[in-house]
């Protein structure tokens, strides 16, 4: 059993190493942009949210959870309740099996993000970047859903789209009060990838929905 932050002050690097054990997708789907978020980025985001007081003893939703790396890490950071939600049944099965193996009490639900009606304190998510034509504007739909169900949203987006996201947040009467940039590496995953790895500039936003 892995000890929670409240029992032992787990170092960020230790959390990153643990998160590297979370399984990847078995059959990733390019149309909904399934990529594993790197463990070092996930660990840093979780520590950031923890320091803001948005995880410990809070109800947290990992929206578009994939195989569960954010939800698993959030549970280790001593969230009161963690719910992972994804449209992909296979990904949810992987996440659920891993959580059970690690003796972590995480609820996983198969559902489209637009249909989620569960309220929470905090959402932590890496929504699709909307790079595929079939998935255009997906990241914005995730933000809109976050405003419906959460008080605080942690969300990652391509840095080049941040100006638009800020305007969208403002139009929803929210506020971005924290930014952090990362270099997000996507390894060769699909047949149309022509490089072993490609790096993207992304930015984490902490969004207050003013609920």
CA 25 – CA 15 distance, rounded (Å)? 20
Residue 210 has a pLDDT of 80
Residue 200 has a pLDDT of 82
In a domain, 4, yes or no: no
In a domain, 2, yes or no: no
Q: Which of 21-30, 55-64, 171-180 has the lowest mean pLDDT?
A: 21-30
Question: What rounded mean pLDDT belongs to the chain?
Answer: 87
In a domain, 7, yes or no: no
In a domain, 151, yes or no: yes
Task: Give 3-state DSSP helix, strand, coil % of the chain, rounded to 5.
Answer: 35, 25, 40
3-state secondary structure of 45: helix
Range of the domain at 176: 12-208
Residue 135 has pLDDT above 70, yes or no: no
CB atoms within 10 A of CB 40: 17
In a domain, 143, yes or no: yes
Residue range 134-159: average pLDDT? 87
Terminus-to-terminus CA distance in the chain, angstroms?
Answer: 36
Q: Which of 18-32, 73-87, 180-194 has the highest mean pLDDT?
A: 73-87
In a domain, 51, yes or no: yes
* Residue 19 pLDDT grade (very low, low, confident, very high; cuts 50, 70, 90): very high
Q: Which of 111-125, 134-148, 151-165, 170-184 has the lowest mean pLDDT?
A: 134-148
- Kindly compute the dihedral angle of the four CA atoms of residues 143, 148, 121, 86, in this order, to the nearest 10 degrees: -60
Residue 7 has pLDDT above 50, yes or no: no
| Strand spans (E) along 41-188 | 59-63, 81-86, 107-110, 122-125, 152-158, 175-187
Q: Which of 35-49, 124-138, 140-154 has the lowest mean pLDDT?
A: 124-138
Domain count, the chain: 1
In a domain, 171, yes or no: yes
Residue 199 has a pLDDT of 85
In a domain, 6, yes or no: no
Percent of the chain scoring above 70 in pLDDT: 82
CA 36 – CA 88 distance, rounded (Å)? 14
CATH number of the domain that 32 lies in?
3.40.50.150
Residue 148 has pLDDT above 50, yes or no: yes
Q: Are 137 and 109 in contact (CB under 8 A)?
A: no
């Amino acid at each position: 059993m892995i000890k929670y932050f409240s029992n032992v002050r787990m170092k960020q690097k230790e959390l990153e190493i643990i998160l590297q054990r979370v399984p990847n997708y078995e059959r990733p789907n390019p149309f909904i942009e399934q990529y594993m978020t790197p463990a070092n980025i996930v660990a840093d985001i979780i520590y950031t949210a923890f320091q803001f007081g948005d995880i410990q003893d809070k109800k947290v939703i990992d929206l578009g959870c994939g195989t569960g790396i954010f939800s698993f890490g959030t549970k280790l950071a001593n969230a009161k309740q963690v719910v992972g939600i994804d449209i992909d049944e296979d990904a949810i099965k992987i996440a659920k099996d891993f959580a059970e193996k690690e003796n972590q009490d995480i609820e996983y639900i198969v559902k489209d993000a637009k249909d989620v009606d569960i309220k929470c304190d905090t959402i932590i998510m890496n929504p699709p970047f909307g790079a595929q034509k079939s998935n255009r504007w997906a990241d914005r739909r995730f933000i809109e859903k976050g405003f419906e169900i959460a008080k605080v949203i942690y969300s990652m987006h391509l840095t080049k789209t941040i100006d638009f996201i800020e305007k969208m947040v403002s139009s929803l009467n929210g506020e971005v009060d924290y930014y952090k940039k990362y270099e997000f590496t996507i390894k060769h995953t699909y047949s149309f990838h022509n490089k072993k790895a490609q790096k993207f500039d992304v930015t984490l936003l902490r969004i207050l929905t003013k609920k």
